[in-house]
Structure 1
Amino acid sequence: MELPTPPLLHTHSAMKSTSSILLIKLFILQCSLSLLCVAVAQQDFDFFYFVQQWPGSYCDTKASCCYPTTGKPATDFGIHGLWPNYKDGSYPSNCDPDSHFNRSQVSDLISRMQRSWPTLACPRGDGSLFWSHEWEKHGTCSESVLDQHHYFKTALNLKETLGLLPILQSAGINPDGGSYSLSRIRGAIKDALGFTPWIECNVDASGNSQLYQVYVCIDNQGSNTIECPVLPTGSKCASTVQFPSF
Structure 2
Amino acid sequence: MPPGRPAHKNISPTTVIIAFTLFIFVSCSLINSFYKIISTRMTDNSWDVYIFTQNWPASVCLAWEEKGKGHMCMSAGNKTSWTIHGIWPTKFGEIGPNYCNTSLPFDPEAIYGLKDELEAAWSPIQKHKQSNAFWKHEWEKHGTCANTIPFYPNEFEYFNQGLKWSRQYNITNVLNSAGITPGRMYNVSAVWAAVKQAYGKNPHIACFTDSITKASFLLEIRICFNKTFEIVDCDGIKYRTRWDHRRKPTVSSGNFTDCVPNQPVEYPITSPYPPPSPEYPKEDIFILDVLKTIQFLGWATS
TM-score, L = length of structure 1 = 0.76
1:152 is aligned, of 159, 181, 195, to 159
Deviation at 1:229, TM superposition (A): 4.4
Partner of 2:267: 243
- Residue 87 of structure 1 and its aligned partner are, at CA, apart by 2.3
For residue 51 of structure 1, what is the aligned residue in structure 2? 53
Displacement of 1:50 in angstroms is 0.6
Find the aligned partners of 1:116 and 1:65 in 2 and give their Cα distance.
Answer: 20
Cα gap change, 1:180 to 1:237, in 2 (>3 Å): same
Paired position in structure 2 for 1:30: none
Distance 2:80 2:72 in 1: 15
> Contact 2:202–2:235 (CA<8 Å) still a contact in 1?
no
Could you say what secondary structure the match of 1:113 adopts? helix
Could you say which residue in structure 1 is the equivalent of 2:286?
Answer: none
Aligned position for 1:180: 186
Matched position secondary structure for 2:206 = strand
CA RMSD of aligned residues (A): 2.3
Aligned match of 2:232 in 220, 223, 226? 226
Q: Is the 8 A contact 1:50 1:82 kept in 2?
A: yes
Q: Is 2:86–2:162's contact at 8 Å kept on the other side of the alignment?
A: yes
Residue from 69, 86, 91 that aligns with 1:81:
86
Supply the AA of the counterpart residue of 1:243: Y
User: What is the rounded CA distance, in whole Å, between the counterparts of 2:117 and 2:72 in structure 1?
Assistant: 21
Partner in structure 2 of residue 215 of structure 1: 222
Q: Give yes or no for the alignment of 1:102 onto 2:107.
A: yes
Are 2:185 and 2:267, in contact at CA under 8 Å, matched by a contact in 1?
A: yes
Cα deviation code 1:156-207 (max 9, x no counterpart): 111111110111111111011x111111110001000111111110023522
- Counterpart CA distance in 1 for 2:230 and 2:259 is 27
Distance in structure 1 (CA, Å) of the matches to 2:224 and 2:94: 13
Identity percentage of aligned residues: 28
Which residue pairs with 1:195 in the alignment?
A: 201
Are the counterparts in 1 of residues 44 and 148 from structure 2 also a CA contact under 8 Å?
A: yes
Q: 1:29-178 to 2 correspondence within 5 Å?
A: 41=43, 43-61=45-63, 62-63=66-67, 65-67=72-74, 74-123=79-128, 126=131, 128-145=132-149, 146=152, 147-176=154-183, 178=184
**Structure of higher RCO (CA pairs closer than 8 Å, 6+ residues apart):** 1
Cα drift, residue 232 of structure 1:
2.7
Structure 2 gap ranges (5+):
1-38, 245-257, 271-302
> How far apart are residue 72 of structure 1 and its match?
5.9
In structure 2, what residue type is equivalent to 1:59? C
Alignment length (residue pairs): 204
Higher deviation after alignment, 94-103 or 233-242 = 233-242
For structure 1, the residue ranges without an aligned partner over 5 or more in a row are 1-36
Give the structure with higher Rg (CA). Answer: 2
Q: Is the 8 A contact 1:73 1:118 kept in 2?
A: no
Residues 38-81 of structure 1 show CA distances to partners (whole Å, capped at 9, x for unaligned) of: xx94833221111111111112242464115xx66631111111
